[in-house]
Structure 1
Amino acid sequence: MKIRLRPIRADERLMVDVDGEAAGFVSYLKGRYGIRGDYYEIGCALLPAYWGRGIGWRAQALLTAYVFDHWPVQRVQAGTQPENVAERKALLKAGFREEGVIRASEFQAGQWRDGVLFSRLRDDPYPELSN
């Protein structure tokens, strides 16, 4: 299976292409800590037919490499909900480290919910994509 990212007609998004078929998209958004602490936050949304096949973590690893190749940032981060075990595993496999819980970070279904923050630094090891 060949996975690659292709530009789509939207800023800060790339299509996830699996063997020539659109499988979903990845996104990146610039943020800043302090005066010079630029970083990018990434996300991934796949169509259900592509879930559970190892595509999401590979797409996130490719996107992180894309960000590091195109911008002089030291940090890429991603977040998810604590109960989203599949995404947490995907981020770890993509070379991210879990940093901790972000309390009351998202308002969903009428209540504030916690999130879990992950990051990868430019010098962190790059994951082997063939696994």
Structure 2
Amino acid sequence: MTFPILATPRLRLTEVETYHATALFEVFSNPEVVKYYGMDPMDELIQAEKIIQHFKKSYEMKKGIRWAITLKDGDQFVGTIGLNNLALGMKKAEVGFEIHPRLWRSGITSEALRAVLDYSFDELGLHRIGAVTFPANDASIGLLKKNGFIEEGKLRSYLFQSGLSHDAMIFSKLNTDRSPNS
């Protein structure tokens, strides 16, 4: 199965490859990036290499798709976005993303998210895309709402990070929630 390449005006979404490991490590080792990610910051490059292998295996098993977000201008890796818990037969998945802090609030994540949503609904035929985030993650909650996700509720002790269980908020967007021209 050929990995889907997506493009937007400013971005190329491609398969996360081993040559992205150093840039991915830079993102995932930043405590501010993973503060609400459900994992502790990476402290060794091998962790980035292992997560890339996990992304590849998940894709091969048709359980997820993780794209490298690269800027068209300079082909620079700035983060990832992807579908987790992909269940093609059940027509659903969850979306997750992270981006380098220097591009926070630049619209890059929304642009990548719209491309992934379009691909998910139009090409994969999914009906539901879910998203889970920490209740204090105002930036992600705002991004999800801005892109048409509806808050469904709280998942008690759903995430485990820094030795503690944390509640999570769950959001979803259905194919039927899309406007007719999107």
Q: TM-score, normalised by structure 1?
A: 0.82
The structure whose residues are more often strand, as a share, is 1
The structure whose residues are more often helix, as a share, is 2
Among 131, 134, 137, which residue is 1:81 paired with? 134
Which residue of structure 2 aligns with residue 118 of structure 1?
171
* Unmatched runs of 5 consecutive residues or more in structure 2: 1-8, 18-55, 60-64
Q: Distance in 1 between matches of 2:178 and 2:86?
A: 23
Count residues with an aligned counterpart. 125
Which residue of structure 1 aligns with residue 111 of structure 2?
58
Which residue of structure 1 aligns with residue 148 of structure 2?
95
- Which amino acid in the other structure matches residue 162 of structure 2? A
Q: Distance in 2 between matches of 1:38 and 1:65?
A: 14
Percent sequence identity is 30
> Aligned-pair distance for 1:45?
1.2
Which residue of structure 1 aligns with residue 161 of structure 2?
108
> Which runs of 4 or more aligned residues in structure 1 lie more than 6 Å from their structure 2 counterparts after TM superposition?
none
Q: Distance in 2 between matches of 1:61 and 1:79?
A: 17
Q: Distance in 2 between matches of 1:24 and 1:41?
A: 17
* 2:13 is the counterpart of 1:5: yes
Q: Secondary structure of the equivalent of 1:30?
A: strand
Alpha-carbon RMSD: 2.2
Q: Which has the larger radius of gyration?
A: 2
Q: Distance in 1 between matches of 2:16 and 2:152?
A: 31
Which residue of structure 2 aligns with residue 26 of structure 1?
81
* Unmatched runs of 5 consecutive residues or more in structure 1: none
